[in-house]
Amino acid sequence: MLLAIDTSAGTSVAIVDGGRVLARCDSDDPRRHAEVIGELIAACLDEARIAVTSLDGVVAGMGPGPFTGLRVGIAAARAFAVGAGLPIIPAVSHEAIAFEALEARDRPVIVATDARRQEVYWSAYSGLDDRGLPTRRHAPSLTKVAELEHLVSGFDGYELVQTRTVSAAALGLVAELQRASGRAPAANEPLYLRSPDVTLSAGPKRVTG
């Protein structure tokens, strides 16, 4: 049984077990991650009527996603895992979107989410493999909103799936399948895909003319 947390878009928490979603609690607000994260975790544990001790691991959505919000979920997942003595299972947030999208259609997909500043995070998945896991064609990357359409046209037969939400329930299901298949989890590092916004100053400016 896994607790899954994703804050790459809104704040999403779920508990999954053996391919079933036992609880899901979401907030779509893209700015209040730190405020709602605790209540959503508590509500999920309540809804699933399980004790912390029945969990086997904590899934953390590693993004890509806007940094400040993204970190809230990763920090919470890591701290919860330490507190409960559970392994942390990092997962790529876009795989949750791809998983849901590919279950609903027969075409490969390009997943795109808001990266703010006129940019989007995108990745490409060709379909589900025999275990039901999304097969990645292109790793999460960053591009200008204006260039997205052109980029999609370069992937023959792919459908563009743009979403404002990422489901921790889907992320948890993907993580379960990955675990069962013996595949290594994603790297335990946030997918920022952008350097911190700083410019090196050229030294102090003159104050006298």
Partner 1 sequence: MSAVVLGIETSCDETGIGIVRGTRLLANVIASSMEEHARYGGVVPEVAARAHLEALTPALSQALAEAGVTLGEIDAIAVTSGPGLAGALMVGVAAAKALSLALGKPLYAVNHLVGHVGVDILSAGEAALEYPTIALLVSGGHTSLLLVRDLISDVELLGETIDDAAGEAFDKVARLLGLPYPGGPEIDRAAEGGDPNAIRFPRGLSLPKDMAQHRYDFSFSGLKTAVARWVERERDEGAEVPIADVAASFREAVVDVLLTKAIAACEERGIPRLLLGGGVVANRRMREVADARCQAAGIQLRIPPLSLCTDNGAMIAALGAQLLLAGHPASGLDFGADSTLPVTRIQA
Residues that bind partner 1 in the complex, under the rule CB under 8 A:
32-39, 41-42, 45, 52, 67-68, 71-85, 190, 192, 196-198, 200-201, 203-204, 206-208
End-to-end CA separation in angstroms for the chain: 68
Dist CA 53 CA 114 (whole Å): 36
Hey, is 72 helix, strand or coil?
helix
Nearer to partner 1, 33 or 94 (CB): 33
CB of 143 to partner 1, least distance (A): 21
CB of 127 to partner 1, least distance (A): 33
Nearer to partner 1, 147 or 189 (CB): 189
Which are the contacts of 39, defined by CB distance < 8 A and separation ≥ 6?
none
Dist CA 14 CA 26 (whole Å): 8
Nearer to partner 1, 73 or 134 (CB): 73
Nearer to partner 1, 108 or 190 (CB): 190
CB of 117 to partner 1, least distance (A): 13
Comparing C-alpha atoms, which of 175, 168, 121 is closest to residue 144? Answer: 121
CB of 4 to partner 1, least distance (A): 13
Give the chain's radius of gyration (CA, Å): 18
Point out which residues pair with 125 in neighbouring strands.
109, 136
